[in-house]
Amino acid sequence: MKHTGIIRTATITGVAAALSLAAIVPALAAPSTDPVTTVADLDGDGELETVTAQLTGDNDQVISATVNGTFTSIHLGADSYAGVQAPRVTDLNGDGRAELIVTQSVGANTTFFTALHYDGRNLSQVVDNDSKPLSVAEGGGIAAHLGYQCTPLEGGGRTFETVAAEADDISADPLTYSGTRTVYTLRDGALTTQSTIAIDHRPVTDPVLSADATTCAQPGA
Ligand SMILES: [Ca+2]
Ligand SMILES: [Ca+2]
């Protein structure tokens, strides 16, 4: 009898394990649609606003905030499989008003982002030199070196810099990368290229490949 009792217990444990596995699998296939939040000073008045990101549909998210009592929101592409992440709170030009770096797609090695700015009334996408919404990549694994960084300007403000380089030979030791570092200034939500620096067979330790995203953080946010 005792022996049977042990088997029964083991079977029940096995069923419970199977059930909990079954509960995890659908959660991966359909990420939570619960909102995620962060805080940012969107209008630069010293008061933090709550910023919310929520998955609203197939590969669609809405980013929203209330600034001085006025609600603003914008729909952006999202990665339904990965779910939404709270936007990164940055100040890409150092003017005291936050820009939001928003995750749009998540790959095995590389994540793609776009950026939002607050124009005094609405959230809108930061655009590049060609008036196209900014898309910036981070990561790249070994085959590529991708990211962004901000650099303080003498006299105030910051430049926003993107790095996009590919490994010259992924079997080389040390690895070297070639590509481009692009230096931008941001004004009224539009980026202007200040310089384009060629990266030519440089090791990842070279400052020209530096891509420390934390340098773009909004102080105090
Ligand atoms: Ca504010
Ligand atoms: Ca700013």
Tokens of 42: 């969107």
Structure confidence at residue 197 (pLDDT): 98
The 3-state DSSP class for residue 123 equals strand
Structure confidence at residue 30 (pLDDT): 63
Structure confidence at residue 221 (pLDDT): 78
- Ligand 2 centroid from CA 206, angstroms: 28
158 vs 89: CA distance, rounded Å? 15
Structure confidence at residue 14 (pLDDT): 45
Ligand whose nearest atom lies closest to the CA of 90: 2
Structure confidence at residue 123 (pLDDT): 98
Structure confidence at residue 29 (pLDDT): 55
Structure confidence at residue 19 (pLDDT): 44
Give the residue ranges of the chain where pLDDT is below 50: 1-27
Structure confidence at residue 145 (pLDDT): 98
217 vs 121: CA distance, rounded Å? 22
Structure confidence at residue 220 (pLDDT): 82
Q: Determine the residue type at 66.
A: T
Tokens of 101: 């770096």
Q: Give, as residue ranges, everything with CB less than 5 Å from ion ligand 2.
A: 91, 93, 95, 97
3 vs 84: CA distance, rounded Å? 50
Q: Give, as residue ranges, everything with CB less than 5 Å from ion ligand 1.
A: 41, 43, 45, 47
Exposed, middle or buried: residue 56 (CB in 10 Å: 0-12, 13-18, 19+)?
middle
pLDDT single digits (tens) 32-84: 789 999 999 999 999 999 999 999 999 999 999 999 999 999 999 999 999 99
- Beta-strand runs (E) in the chain: 36-40, 49-57, 60-67, 70-77, 88-90, 99-106, 110-118, 123-125, 136-139, 144-152, 158-167, 176-187, 190-203
- Ligand 1 centroid from CA 156, angstroms: 20
DSSP assignment of 21-80 equals: HHHHHHHHHS-----EEEEE-SSSSSPPEEEEEEEEETTEEEEEEEETTEEEEEEEE--T
Ligand whose nearest atom lies closest to the CA of 89: 2
For the chain, give every domain's residue range: 85-216
